[in-house]
A and B are shown apart, each in its own frame.
Chain A
Amino acid sequence: MSPEPAAAQRVREPVLEVRGITVRFGGVAALTDVSLAVSPGQVTGLIGPNGAGKTTLFNVISGLQRPDHGRVSIDGRDVTDLGPHRRARLGLARTFQRLELFGTLSASDNVRVGIESGNRRQRAAVLGALATDGQSAAVALLERVGVGAVANDPVGALPTGSARLVELARALSIDPRVLLLDEPCSGLDDNETGQLGTLLRDLATEGRAVVLVEHDMDVVLKVCDLVHVLDFGEVIASGTPAEIKAAPAVQAAYLGAELPDVVTPAAPSPATPGPAAPVDGATR
């Protein structure tokens, strides 16, 4: 493998850190002593069988689930005791495995709610980068993720794939520095999945930290810089996609699951440009 660029990235201060997270539901341990750090400019994969605790970990990070033990910090600031909306204001955004769209609003209004909810910095970043008013900024964000055509549709009518992309656009509406994506590819066709992969790399290039929970191993191996494997609520392996694929523990957890050939991660260029990435229709 060719670790240099990735290693250079890895030394950057992590923007999100979880340490020793334990969550129990009754007698069942959903997460046991999970620790990981996520750096800006990287796509971090989180994989594992169903029920491994991936979504629970997202809930802990975003503040929807209180951990029994452990701390969560954003930019070195401990946020374990903060509510979800305070964390969002610190630059954390997420999508949901089971859709949580504002079902009676149009796609563009879904995104507009997000834009209008941001603090001054977030709003300035989104409006400044995209357009002048909320409505066109919302449409521009939808176009960026590839669903500009459905801007005026009620989201309840959208197919799952498009709805997921609307959720992604809504998450982007608060100009997140950490973006948690829970299975964004389910419901997408191959072509859309490929475009989403490109978009995720772009988002990382803008300096955001992208955390990806995904079952589609092709995408994970292609897009991620670093992958953590969860099994029964514990991190059983961490490493580059190549390392992960070779790890025996992973193969055991995925017994029978055939891992595709390693694809070299699309290494970010060493000189990652700052957050001011131009908005182009790259993914369209």
Chain B
Amino acid sequence: MSEFLQYTVIGIVAGAVYAITATGLVVTYTTTGIFNFAQGAVGMVAAFAFWQLWQGWGWNPVLALALVLLVLMPLLAVLVEWGLMRRLHGASTERSLMVTLGLLLILVGVATALWNPQTQRIVYPFFEGDFVGILGVNVSYQQLLTVGAAVVIAVAVPYFLRVFRIGVAMRAVVDDPDLVALAGAKPYRVAQMGWMLGFFLAGLAGCLLAPTVASTGLNIDTLTILVVNGYAAAVVGRLRSLPWTFAGAMALGLAGAYSLAYLSEHVPQSLAAQIPEIVPVVFLFIALLVVPAVRLRAIGRLPTHAAPRVAGFRQSLLGGAVLVIAVALLSLVLGGSLMAAITSGLALGIVALSLVLLTGYGGQVSLCQMTFLGVGAFTMGKVANGGGSWWGLLAAVGVTGALGAFVALPALRLRGLYLALATLAFGEAAFYVLFQNPSYLGTGNSIAVGRLDIPGLRTVGDKGELIEIAVFFALCAIIVLAVRRHTFGRRLVAMNDSPAAFATLGMSATRTKVVVFALAAAMAGLGGVLYGGAQGGLNGSDVQLEFLSSLTLLLFVAIWGLRTTTGALLGGLSATLLPFAQTQLPSGLSGLTGLVAGVGIILLGRSPEGVLGFPGLSGRIRLPFADDPPPSVRPPAAAGSGSDVASSVEEGRIGVA
């Protein structure tokens, strides 16, 4: 009995933290229409800042807490709203998703730069760990404070929204900011308020959480990813209802605690260790299953920008040939870790190509594409037994394709944000159940993956491997472009542009979605086989398997151009070359990836088609910061009759979709 009560207390305290952060998510979402994927990262920054003031500089903890929550968080919120979010008015769900993902990377990058991850930082429990006995269970004041804060938040936030009528104005802002402006309210003021409240709550959750991870010290990734729990709770509230969000958070907290208490003995040892991570993911998945299916609706929104031109067959063939020749020439002078980074970058480029197909053309956001990379490499390793047989390749492509079709099932009901969350849950589940599980991967939690047996290439070694992967990338790019030019590609784009018109023309989105998910997953699986071969194997703790990597790759492709094969090439290379460059820099200059991502997403705010779609690059020369007209549809005549320089740029950019 006392064990039960003990775990109940643990569950309620965990639920309280989830409730606070999830309330922040819901408030920001209902007031701005943007789901802040960076909520956990914001809490992480708050926790670190709190540590810095309190333990680092020896401030009074109450003063430190007040400064972090009441000054730093609101300031950060205002900055983010002004610098990143304000441009997103009217942007698609996918784009605002990318920008908050980018914010996550920036915050992680900044934190990495400011607080060296090698140092251990411990936030001591508040009240020096004092506790009080309740019903025979020792409850610390820290835990009481956490639950008390959650209760106050649960009562105060709805009251605050109602009494100050901010809630009403906030809701109006989501529906139509222009109308609110006409009615005399300042839409961005209301949005600012939404962000400030959201950041405050994220910070509060982060600071309350900080002492509970005292045993290991503050960890950037752990704190950032803890927000998955917040997502799950917010989904229970359908991103709208605060009471349901609160209930969801409590249910999740208790489910986690009870599973830890009573489930550990009944599952295999290897799985038991992962219970704290798996429970929220499963919870999120179930919550998503009961989200009502998206209703087909005429929305009457036309994209305000033109899509990049699609290269013809000859042009894509030529582009592929140029790439392979360029890589072959490069391989003569390259070597060492730079060449290794380029080799795996090209393999990731193939995964990036799958994102062009799936997200760029089809508009289906996937945050688990790196899972297919891992499964592809894993299958190859198992089937070919560490060798490089073509049967292994076929098996890997087949298995990932089938898995992709399975992941498409939630996509039949969900769209945009919910779909992204579902793929995230899948990727996380796969990470903990498969890749972190020695009983699958084998000793050392790794599996050997051989390079493909291509006669003649074996003798060339690493350079041969590089050229081989370049050939595969070129082939995949040609396939992606060919798909886009044909019936299925048109259908994919149509489904993305207007689901309502798509259906009323007699097409079922079911088949299209299943096929594109399977195709993209198979392509990512192929990338995984090549990646594994290049690495000589797959390690369960490979950073590429973590969900942040799926997200980083997607973001990099989006920054370069999510609807271009060149964007996939540059995106894949960015994902490995930036970390490589990082290792070459003095250690004080860490966080480079976050910095580049930051600049990238600010660009993305200006040019929805990414860097490659930036006006000066896409057939029409304009001053980089000319604001008028907005990044809009390229006049049809300009495409062909632009200046000679412009069209030669276009020609020179061979292989650009």
Q: Is A105 located at the chain interface by the 8 A CB criterion?
A: yes
Indicate whether A154 sits within 8 Å of B296 (C-beta atoms), given known contacts A114-B505, A117-B506.
Answer: no
In whole angstroms, how far apart are the Cα atoms of A44 and B491 in the complex?
32
- Contact A96–B300 (Cβ < 8 Å): yes
- Contact A100–B494 (Cβ < 8 Å): no
**Residues on B with beta carbons closer than 8 Å to the beta carbon of A89:** 506
- Contact A103–B500 (Cβ < 8 Å): no
Contact pattern, A 93-132, Cβ under 8 Å of B = 1, otherwise 0: 1101111111111000110111011110010000000000
- Contact B636–A113 (Cβ < 8 Å): no
Residues of A138-185 at the interface with B, using a CB-CB cut-off of 8 Å, are 152-157, 163, 167, 170, 173-174
Q: Could you tell me the distance in whole angstroms from the C-beta of A245 to the nearest C-beta in chain B? A: 31
Classify the secondary structure of B's interface with A. loop
- Contact A85–B633 (Cβ < 8 Å): no
- Contact B300–A157 (Cβ < 8 Å): no
Instruction: Return the contact of A156 from the options B298, B504, B633 (Cβ within 8 A).
Output: B633
- Contact B506–A100 (Cβ < 8 Å): no
Residues of B489-535 at the interface with A, using a CB-CB cut-off of 8 Å, are 490-491, 493-494, 496-498, 500-508
- Contact A104–B493 (Cβ < 8 Å): yes
Contact pattern, B 610-636, Cβ under 8 Å of A = 1, otherwise 0: 000000000000000000000001111
Instruction: Return the contact of B497 from the options A63, A102, A112 (Cβ within 8 A).
Output: A102
In whole angstroms, how far apart are the Cα atoms of A101 and B502 in the complex?
9
Q: Is A59 located at the chain interface by the 8 A CB criterion?
A: yes
Q: Is B487 located at the chain interface by the 8 A CB criterion?
A: yes
**Residues on B with beta carbons closer than 8 Å to the beta carbon of A97:** 298, 300
In whole angstroms, how far apart are the Cα atoms of A116 and B297 in the complex?
22
Indicate whether A157 sits within 8 Å of B636 (C-beta atoms), given known contacts A64-B298, A117-B507.
Answer: yes
Q: Is A221 located at the chain interface by the 8 A CB criterion?
A: no
Q: Is A62 located at the chain interface by the 8 A CB criterion?
A: yes
Instruction: Return the contact of B300 from the options A100, A109, A155 (Cβ within 8 A).
Output: A100
Q: Which of B302-310, B351-359, B591-599 contacts A (4 or more CB under 8 A)?
A: B302-310
Q: Could you tell me the distance in whole angstroms from the C-beta of A133 to the nearest C-beta in chain B? A: 12
Residues of B267-308 at the interface with A, using a CB-CB cut-off of 8 Å, are 296-300, 302-307
In whole angstroms, how far apart are the Cα atoms of A63 and B635 in the complex?
36
- Contact B497–A101 (Cβ < 8 Å): yes
Q: Could you tell me the distance in whole angstroms from the C-beta of B176 to the nearest C-beta in chain A? A: 14
Q: Is A83 located at the chain interface by the 8 A CB criterion?
A: yes
- Contact A104–B298 (Cβ < 8 Å): no
- Contact A153–B636 (Cβ < 8 Å): yes
Most A CB within 10 A of own CB, among B494, B498, B503: B494
- Contact B491–A103 (Cβ < 8 Å): no
Instruction: Return the contact of B505 from the options A59, A88, A153 (Cβ within 8 A).
Output: A88
Q: Is A233 located at the chain interface by the 8 A CB criterion?
A: no
Q: Could you tell me the distance in whole angstroms from the C-beta of A86 to the nearest C-beta in chain B? A: 8
- Contact A103–B498 (Cβ < 8 Å): yes
Residues of B352-407 at the interface with A, using a CB-CB cut-off of 8 Å, are none
Q: Which residue of A lies closest to B508 (CB)?
A: A85
In whole angstroms, how far apart are the Cα atoms of A92 and B490 in the complex?
21
**Residues on A with beta carbons closer than 8 Å to the beta carbon of B304:** 156
Q: Is A53 located at the chain interface by the 8 A CB criterion?
A: no
Q: Which residue of B lies closest to A90 (CB)?
A: B506
Q: Which residue of B lies closest to A104 (CB)?
A: B307
In whole angstroms, how far apart are the Cα atoms of A109 and B307 in the complex?
13
In whole angstroms, how far apart are the Cα atoms of A102 and B499 in the complex?
9
**Residues on A with beta carbons closer than 8 Å to the beta carbon of B500:** 64, 84, 96, 100
Indicate whether A103 sits within 8 Å of B497 (C-beta atoms), given known contacts A85-B507, A117-B506.
Answer: yes
**Residues on B with beta carbons closer than 8 Å to the beta carbon of A103:** 302-303, 497-498
- Contact A64–B508 (Cβ < 8 Å): no
In this complex, how many residues of chain A approach chain B with their Cβ under 8 Å: the count is 44
**Residues on A with beta carbons closer than 8 Å to the beta carbon of B503:** 63-64, 83-85, 88
Q: Which residue of A lies closest to B490 (CB)?
A: A113
- Contact A96–B633 (Cβ < 8 Å): no
Contact pattern, B 203-241, Cβ under 8 Å of A = 1, otherwise 0: 000000000000000000000000000000000000000
**Residues on A with beta carbons closer than 8 Å to the beta carbon of B494:** 102, 105, 110, 113
- Contact A170–B497 (Cβ < 8 Å): no
In this complex, how many residues of chain B approach chain A with their Cβ under 8 Å: the count is 32
Most B CB within 10 A of own CB, among A100, A109, A163: A100
- Contact B636–A63 (Cβ < 8 Å): no
Q: How many A-B residue pairs have CB under 8 A?
A: 122
- Contact A104–B300 (Cβ < 8 Å): no
**Residues on A with beta carbons closer than 8 Å to the beta carbon of B496:** 104
In whole angstroms, how far apart are the Cα atoms of A105 and B489 in the complex?
11
- Contact B497–A93 (Cβ < 8 Å): no
Contact pattern, A 14-30, Cβ under 8 Å of B = 1, otherwise 0: 00000000000000000
Contact pattern, A 209-221, Cβ under 8 Å of B = 1, otherwise 0: 0000000000000
**Residues on A with beta carbons closer than 8 Å to the beta carbon of B497:** 101-105
Most B CB within 10 A of own CB, among A103, A112, A170: A103
Q: Could you tell me the distance in whole angstroms from the C-beta of A182 to the nearest C-beta in chain B? A: 9
Most A CB within 10 A of own CB, among B496, B505, B508, B633: B505
Q: Could you tell me the distance in whole angstroms from the C-beta of B22 to the nearest C-beta in chain A? A: 27
Q: Could you tell me the distance in whole angstroms from the C-beta of B482 to the nearest C-beta in chain A? A: 16
In whole angstroms, how far apart are the Cα atoms of A81 and B300 in the complex?
25
In whole angstroms, how far apart are the Cα atoms of A89 and B634 in the complex?
35
Q: Which residue of A lies closest to B636 (CB)?
A: A153
Indicate whether A118 sits within 8 Å of B297 (C-beta atoms), given known contacts A113-B494, A157-B633.
Answer: no
Most A CB within 10 A of own CB, among B302, B503, B504: B504
Q: Which residue of B lies closest to A122 (CB)?
A: B506
- Contact A64–B300 (Cβ < 8 Å): no
Q: Which residue of B lies closest to A119 (CB)?
A: B506
**Residues on A with beta carbons closer than 8 Å to the beta carbon of B493:** 102, 104-105
Q: Which residue of A lies closest to B492 (CB)?
A: A113
- Contact B505–A156 (Cβ < 8 Å): no
- Contact A93–B487 (Cβ < 8 Å): no
**Residues on B with beta carbons closer than 8 Å to the beta carbon of A85:** 503-508
In whole angstroms, how far apart are the Cα atoms of A63 and B234 in the complex?
31
**Residues on B with beta carbons closer than 8 Å to the beta carbon of A87:** 504
Instruction: Return the contact of A88 from the options B303, B307, B504 (Cβ within 8 A).
Output: B504
Contact pattern, B 141-152, Cβ under 8 Å of A = 1, otherwise 0: 000000000000
In whole angstroms, how far apart are the Cα atoms of A61 and B627 in the complex?
44
Residues of A50-97 at the interface with B, using a CB-CB cut-off of 8 Å, are 59, 62-64, 83-85, 87-89, 92-94, 96-97
- Contact A64–B506 (Cβ < 8 Å): no
- Contact A116–B487 (Cβ < 8 Å): yes
- Contact B491–A63 (Cβ < 8 Å): no
In whole angstroms, how far apart are the Cα atoms of A187 and B299 in the complex?
19
Q: Which residue of B lies closest to A84 (CB)?
A: B503
In whole angstroms, how far apart are the Cα atoms of A96 and B487 in the complex?
24
- Contact B498–A174 (Cβ < 8 Å): no
Contact pattern, B 465-493, Cβ under 8 Å of A = 1, otherwise 0: 00000000000000000000001001101
**Residues on B with beta carbons closer than 8 Å to the beta carbon of A118:** 505-506
- Contact B490–A157 (Cβ < 8 Å): no
Q: Could you tell me the distance in whole angstroms from the C-beta of B492 to the nearest C-beta in chain A? A: 10
**Residues on A with beta carbons closer than 8 Å to the beta carbon of B504:** 62-64, 84-85, 87-88, 92-94
Residues of A222-255 at the interface with B, using a CB-CB cut-off of 8 Å, are none
- Contact A64–B307 (Cβ < 8 Å): no
Indicate whether A157 sits within 8 Å of B506 (C-beta atoms), given known contacts A64-B500, A116-B490, A116-B491.
Answer: no
Q: Which residue of A lies closest to B302 (CB)?
A: A103
- Contact A109–B506 (Cβ < 8 Å): no
Q: Could you tell me the distance in whole angstroms from the C-beta of A127 to the nearest C-beta in chain B? A: 14
**Residues on B with beta carbons closer than 8 Å to the beta carbon of A109:** 490
Subset of 17 A-B contacts with CB under 8 Å: A59-B298, A64-B298, A83-B508, A85-B506, A87-B504, A98-B298, A98-B300, A99-B302, A100-B501, A102-B502, A103-B497, A113-B507, A118-B505, A119-B506, A156-B304, A157-B633, A163-B302
- Given A113-B505, A114-B505, A157-B633, 14 additional A-B pairs, CB 8 A: A63-B503, A64-B296, A83-B503, A83-B508, A85-B508, A87-B504, A100-B501, A102-B501, A102-B502, A104-B307, A105-B494, A153-B636, A170-B501, A174-B506
Interface of A toward B, CB cutoff 8 Å: 59, 62-64, 83-85, 87-89, 92-94, 96-105, 109-110, 112-114, 116-119, 122, 152-157, 163, 167, 170, 173-174
